[in-house]
Amino acid sequence: MRARQPGQRRAPLSFAWRLMVSLGLVVLAGAVTVLGVALGVAPQIFGSHLRTAPGAPLEERVSAQVEGAFANAIVLSLGVAIPVGMLVAFAVSWLVAQRLGRSVAAVAVAADRIARGNLQARVEAPAIGPEFAQLADAFNSMAGRLAETESTRRRLIGDLAHELRTPLASLEATVEAVIDGVLPADVVTLDTLVDQTARLQHLVADMAAVSRAEERQLDLRPRVVEVASLASDAVLAATARFVAAGVRLELDIVGEPSKVRVDPQRIAEVLANLLDNALRHTPAGREVRVVVGPQRDTADDGVAMLKVTDTGGGFDPSDAERIFERFYRTDSSRTRTTAGTGIGLTIARAIVEAHDGTLTATSGGPGAGATFLIRLPRHPPARSDDRRAGLARRS
């Protein structure tokens, strides 16, 4: 056995040993308490019953001998029961401690694997109670989210590198051509450099915007406005672009006007992104429609609805969520654009969610058009007495 060096810290006991010792001390404390109470109280109670028993009172010598015999019986009984009970308690504690120790060790090992980069590490739910099963489920859920986040990060880096490659290559080629005398340093060449630089700046600005929006770090300045007013302003701002592209842009306001508490500039940015996305995917001669009002077949009176519907290329229904991912592209995807950075829908959803709303997309398939639905909490919310009245009417 290797001797412990001076100054070397003693290795701590394992969790199983510490738990077993703790439970053993509890059992020992309980046994000592029982023994002390029994010896202090039981003889007095027995003597009292003995003195009040029917028949002639016992002689003092006989009474003392009977009480002593009773005390000895208690001591012998507890002297046997306490060690046996402690042995059983230690055995049960050992089994429980071993199972708990293995479960805790498994979580620790899995956590260490995740810290070292193995995001596929998982733990099995131990059959020792719902609390530990809940802990295992929470750990596995956390590991899954970390793996998904890491996958998104890697894809984002790859997509961002791809997006940066084209303008950087164009800048490099143009500068080298000017240096080699192939291109003159005229206005056209300088305009090309300025355009590619602006594209890079636009990409960086959009990436910063979507990151702030997804992390709820937007500088929001909310105030109460009518949804119809927001839609009207967005349609008015986009009308010239739609006219130039030969696409009709219509605005429908259905039902009573709804008010929401939002940052008008941010929601205007959302609508501009949705309208630009619709315009890019809608051929000339067709239309894009903005609808403000209640959604059909909905019973949620506390939500204001705003839809942007087009008659363009549509998308596969299985891509309804993926089109909101950064730089996501498929041949039939709504995010394949001829201009922009390809994250306009990502920014739009992040801004809406920062206002405690939702932005969803639906389509009947390629060529069937698409609908983007914004749901925002109405202002003011339904009053409690209105809710009670509604419940009374339902009952």
Following DSSP, what letter does each residue of 297-311 receive, concatenated? Answer: T---TTEEEEEEEE-
Best CA proximity match to 226, nearest among 299, 293, 271: 293
pLDDT score for 251: 93
Best CA proximity match to 78, nearest among 137, 117, 37, 19: 37
Residue type, 228: A
CATH topology of domain 130-214: Helix Hairpins (1.10.287)
Best CA proximity match to 208, nearest among 346, 4, 47, 375: 346
Instruction: Answer for the pair 96, 19: CB distance below 8 angstroms, yes or no.
Output: yes
Alpha carbons 364 and 369: distance in angstroms, whole number: 7
pLDDT score for 357: 92
pLDDT score for 330: 47
**354 to 67, 211, 246, 332, 380: CA distances (angstroms):** 80, 12, 34, 29, 18
Angle 80-83-67 from CA coordinates, rounded to 5°: 35
Task: Read off the tokens for 217.
Answer: 């770090």
Angle 188-164-218 from CA coordinates, rounded to 5°: 110
In three-state secondary structure terms, 392 is: helix
Ramachandran region, residue 98 (left: φ > 0; alpha: ψ -120 to 50; beta: rest) = alpha
pLDDT score for 224: 94
Ramachandran region, residue 121 (left: φ > 0; alpha: ψ -120 to 50; beta: rest) = beta
User: Which residue's entry shows tokens 């071993």?
Assistant: 98
Query: Right CATH number for 223-377 from 3.40.640.10, 3.30.565.10, 3.40.50.300, 1.10.760.10?
Result: 3.30.565.10
DSSP per residue, 357-373: -EEEEEESSTTS-EEEE
pLDDT in tens, 60-69: 666 677 777 7
Best CA proximity match to 273, nearest among 373, 346, 370: 346
Question: Given the DSSP bridges, would you call strands 303-310 and 287-292 parallel, antiparallel or unpaired?
Answer: antiparallel
Element holding 287 (H helix, E strand): strand 287-292
Pick out the chain residues at pLDDT < 50: 1, 297, 330-340, 382, 384-395
Element holding 252 (H helix, E strand): strand 248-253
Q: Where are the domains of the chain?
A: 15-115, 130-214, 223-377
- Which residues have CB under 8 Å from 283's CB, separation 6+? 247, 312
- Which residues have CB under 8 Å from 361's CB, separation 6+? 315, 320, 323, 324, 334, 345, 370, 371, 372, 373
Q: What is the dihedral of CA 127, 131, 134, 139, to 10 degrees?
A: -90
Alpha carbons 47 and 51: distance in angstroms, whole number: 6
Element holding 251 (H helix, E strand): strand 248-253
pLDDT score for 386: 47
Instruction: Answer for the pair 374, 307: CB distance below 8 angstroms, yes or no.
Output: yes
pLDDT score for 274: 92
